[in-house]
Structure 1
Amino acid sequence: MAARRHGCGLVRHFRWLVAGYTLSAFGGHLNIVALGLYAFLVTGSALHTGLFMAVRLVSGFVTGLFSGAIVSRFPRKRVMMTADLAQSSALLCLAIVPPDSAAGLLYAVATVAGCGSTLFNVCLRSGIPDIVGAEHRVRGNAMLVTGRSLATVAGMGSAGAIIAVAGFETVFVINAATYLLSALNLARLPLLRTPPEPETSGQPAWKSSLSSAYLVLTATPVLLIMMAVRTVEGFGSASHIVGLPVHAATVQPVEPAMFLSQFWVCWALGNIVAQQIVMRWATRGGRRLPDQSFAVSVIIMSIGFIVVFTGITSWTLMVVALITGIADGYAETSFMSRLQAASEDRRGQLFGLVAMAETTGLGLGMLTSAALLTYQTPSTVVTVMHGLAVVAAIVLLVRLLRRRRARQETELTT
């Protein structure tokens, strides 16, 4: 009975966790705009700006190797607070150091940001079933994605204005404050922590972590294919991240920022709509999201991004962006909820491997799309790269439908 009361308390406190996560995500989206531009202004080199982005991605990838072992050995709350405080400290240093002396510090900030964000997300995603209960994990994921979508709109929308009015240093201080407040918020929340199992394999922690995740994936082939689809989806998504500013300047040369704002705001609203749909579905008897719906949502999302680059504007753009955001948000929530069905002792390792896969897909996609855009139109690049995601999702969908048909035939014969 005490455990049940404790669990109910965790569910009540989860809204505070979502609020803190939304706040830090707002600061993170401020930095998506500010750090890249600041790196270019400080170094005066597109090469160094690219290296800065690469260091952040590589740091996140390497952290994925160890994150599963870290989550299994240390309390999640402590790891998440450490990640927040480290990022806050790094940004405060960047705000204090004069721009003329900040070139070297930028790479340290990129490293801390890559490591900190990966650790925080692995801890949070893998811990949702423990925090809110396995039966509420879909609703918990939906609340987190809703918070992040709101942070995307607020952060991306206000970054330019804050930089113009108050400068980069103010942006860095604001972001540092959001991470600090997130850490203080975590400190007061009673998050569940299952005691770790003792390490008996004799392998290095990172190797044992990857081995555990690999065993889970090979035991569930559909989950392995879903992760592959998610990786290819990240590869394709890099094309619209890189290509949208170029496309906006072509389609709406007078006010390209207006085009970008319309798209991202409608996309984020679509994300929020998707989470409301998911929460309503999950609250009706605690139903699980069908695996097939993940594949369908990836197909719709990828086609939506392809359509955005066909030259549509105004109301058509907003409608397509809204639909794309709905599909994108649903795909993420259904995928996270599926991974969280794994046992607690394997979940951290699994999410660490997923973080590595997503970072790899996004990083390779950034490099590929940047190279292709030198001699191809954004529309062509997005069509090819998101087309790969469509093909991968169709393969998954066919596999799932065949498995369901085989199961039905087996039930009929027995």
Structure 2
Amino acid sequence: MNLLNVAKHLLHLAQTECGSENSATTSDEIFLAERLFEVLKSFKDSYFSELYTYDSLDFDDEWDEMTNEEESDDDNDDYDENQHSDIENRFTLEEMENIIEWVDQHPNAKIATISNRFKKVKYMYYITRFRKYIEDNGTILEKLKQIKEFMFNEFYQKRTIEKETVHDADLELYAIQKARELNWDTFKANAQNWIESKRPLISKYSSHQILNSDHCSFQQEYIPPRTLSFTGERTTEVAVKKKYNTTHSYTVQPVTSADGHLLDKFLLILQEKENTFGANVQKNLIVPPNVVVKASKSEKSSGEKHHAFLNEVLHPLVGKRFLLFLDSWKTQADLTKFRAVFPNQDSQLLILPEGSTGYIQPQDLSLFRSWRFIHEKIEHYVHINRTEMNINDRQYF
């Protein structure tokens, strides 16, 4: 898109509508022009796929004389669920509370003044949404905080002091007990409840459009946690080929769909001394076309690796419409990073609740268990049959 052509046509429309009378440019007009230019740049960079228009725009600075006119908070209620979700992901509860506190202290402040102070607040309807979110979720978050503290205190009491056994069911009972004390009758200590709450959004996508991805790490040399030995043996020792391989691992990140398919590409992160492969490694490393390989000191993912996953693995596999489930790792949960690669609003990101991986993360419950089992069997086969194969070599990963 040529922004210069757009600006020329905009000038033509303005002259046609309002005439070509020359006058001094005011600060409000400069501010408006800057905001319009930012909107045009957004379209040029494809960050937005739709343009939302509103009935009026006010551009009073906070140093100007404030009027006593009340602004309507309902001017911009023509938002969709995706916009609301974007607001929740872009602002923390603390940020929302700080903004609302300032707005309440300046009741006549208009959107230009608010935007000048809080750069991420673009429209007046944000304030309405903040109030509702704080009212609905602020109390819930506070209750959840109290429940988690109560659960930890009970766990600590039972295990450290009373030396009792504690199971998942006990933690659930602790949570329900505290929720009842807080008069939260609808509380359910169950990750399935979160899935049910997202059912309306999930139902909008077909099974092949619903995707899941997660990280799975493997030791470079697998050591079984048990072994047969002699009765009465006080210390059981096991020899390994390289101690280094027992403490270092590699990580894979595949993509699966709800219709049971493993998608064609996946990310492989190999642990190296530096965050890059040396010249000799690059020369000898054979990389299949369906694998994106990255190096990392820790073999764990990072912001850079997550961007590579979105851009090099996921992007070639999907269209404009899909729903992706990821864990609550902070980097993955950043909607800004996701939108930088997938600006279309039909591409949606859902973050699984913290602590729910072992209950509702599809890949953890199925795929990775079988992969680890196969990995153990391959290691066992190579060891038993004395196969002339160094399975710890990065090429076999």
User: Greater CA radius of gyration, 1 or 2?
Assistant: 2
Q: TM-score range by the shorter chain?
A: under 0.3
Greater percentage in strand: 2
TM-score by length of 1: 0.25
More helix by share: 1
